[in-house]
Structure 1
């Protein structure tokens, strides 16, 4: 938290301080507070993987108000934390989902190009390079595959609606899986390639449907379902299991 924001939150009089870490249940969790110019109330979210509790607060919210909010909603945070998937470090021998299928991660320093293979009836992903760079190399493979799958799905749906995208960007966002601007610039989380193909297809259809309907009115959902008949299954999967994909830690 910036000093300026802390000063604005605190105000006059005795100055309670916002803790940097909360203990929820028996687990320490980092507290992140962000002031937003258009916020009208405090919004609390648990970061993917349960690594942080995030608060969005209106401008000039007193610290006492924030602390009281945390006290009232501590039970909610603790309940969510108990079901949040823990962080999963990328390591040789682990199982990593790719297109919904668990792949055994194999580290082979002599392997020049990452390869998807089958060994003993098990799907594998073989990645080369030095071990300290394994997570980055795996991330690069997933981003490459995500771009390939998303571009194909977007092209197919864009042809149906008769409008082409201006651009397609990959990000590692935690608040949304995809977005579309009014001038048809698309952005997606590359982690979607870890989900089953029907989920990726739904996400692509959802954003392409915004080419015609920049809203979520009934006409939008009608178009989305016409592009992807498995829309409800895709939405349900992301709601119930999407957080699992954010639990994988690709930092070195």
Structure 2
């Protein structure tokens, strides 16, 4: 009797899954890279996570590790350019600057333990005044921005649902990094509170976008026609988010 390993001499060993996580040193800092195989992929794709917090690479099934490494090296210059935008200090605190409705505001600590966080104009300069302990500045600022975002979005959603003739079931604020908003099948709208840092016309577009989904649960031609009817500045607002959205995601309030 032949040994069992000779019974199927044509069997080929299965290639190991290339999915892995590694770190790259790019633009003066270490960035996490997640590599995932996808049997439906026909080419290598590389995506920068919102805020430059990491990289995601999708590769075809069975691709050689050398091809992946070559791809990374060929695109290192592109990565350096893109990630350089996020290589600076993103921690928010007193003395820094933060946009509110598209207008840069300098963050000022009042020196008081108790008090409210407020946006004011002093000597012609936009300021956000915060109290409490300095190490709690980020938390106080994010709480303030959430309050302002809710105020703006509730008002805009009411306007757009009134035009649409279809009410929303509810409104929630989240800190999502993969999308700016969403609309569930039962009419619940969700928004990233960070949108309040964008210009007013961009906030209005996001509200109109999600309200349009109450009628059109897709991104087809009818949806975009409705979105543009609710918000004529849709294209300009989309372009602004594409160019500057990651900068808002990169700000660290923790």
TM over 0.5: yes
Report the CA distance shift for 1:63/1:147 in structure 2 as closer, same or farther (over 3 A): farther
Tell me the TM-score normalised to structure 1 length: 0.82
Q: 1: CA distance between counterparts of 2:60 and 2:71?
A: 13
CA distance in 1, matches of 2:61, 2:142: 37
Q: Identify unmatched segments of 5+ residues in structure 1.
A: 1-10
Distance 2:174 2:38 in 1: 22
Aligned partner of 1:168 in structure 2 is: 171
**Deviation of the 1:18 alpha carbon:** 5.0
1:112 aligns with 2:99: no
Matching of residue 159 in structure 1 with residue 153 in structure 2 = no
SS at match of 2:128: strand
Counterpart in 1 of 2:72? 70
Partner of 1:231: 234
Which residue matches 1:245?
Answer: 248
Name the CA distance, whole Å, in 2 between partners of 1:125 and 1:132: 16
The secondary structure found in structure 2 opposite 1:118 is: strand
Determine helix, strand or coil for the equivalent of 1:20. Answer: strand
Is 1:200 the counterpart of 2:195? The answer is no
Alignment of 1:6-17 (within 5 A): none
Q: Which moved more, 1:231-240 or 1:26-35?
A: 26-35
Greater CA deviation, 224-233 or 69-78? 69-78
1:88-127 paired onto structure 2 within 5 Å: 88-108=90-110, 109-127=112-130
Which residue of 1 is the match for residue 138 of structure 2? 135
1:89 aligned counterpart, secondary structure: coil
Which runs of no fewer than 5 residues in structure 2 stay unpaired?
A: 1-12
Quote how far apart the aligned CAs of 1:172 are.
1.3
Partner of 1:80: 82
Q: Displacement, 1:180?
A: 1.3
Q: Could you say if the C-alpha distance between residues 13 and 59 of structure 1 is closer, same or farther in structure 2, counting changes exceeding 3 Å?
A: closer
Give the superposition deviation at 1:44.
Answer: 2.4
Q: 1:193 to 1:59 in 2, by over 3 A?
A: farther
Whole-Å separation in 1 of the counterparts to 2:201 and 2:171? 19
Deviations 1:126-180 (A, max 9, x none): 1111111110110010011111111111111011111111221211122211111
Q: CA deviation at 1:230?
A: 1.5
Aligned Cα RMSD in Å? Answer: 3.0
Instruction: From the CA coordinates, give the structure whose radius of gyration is larger.
Output: 2
How far did 1:48 drift? 3.1
Cα deviation digits, residues 65-93 of structure 1 (max 9, x gap): 75455345444423322344634111212
Q: Distance in 2 between matches of 1:17 and 1:201?
A: 40
TM-score (norm 2): 0.81
Corresponding residue of 2:7: none
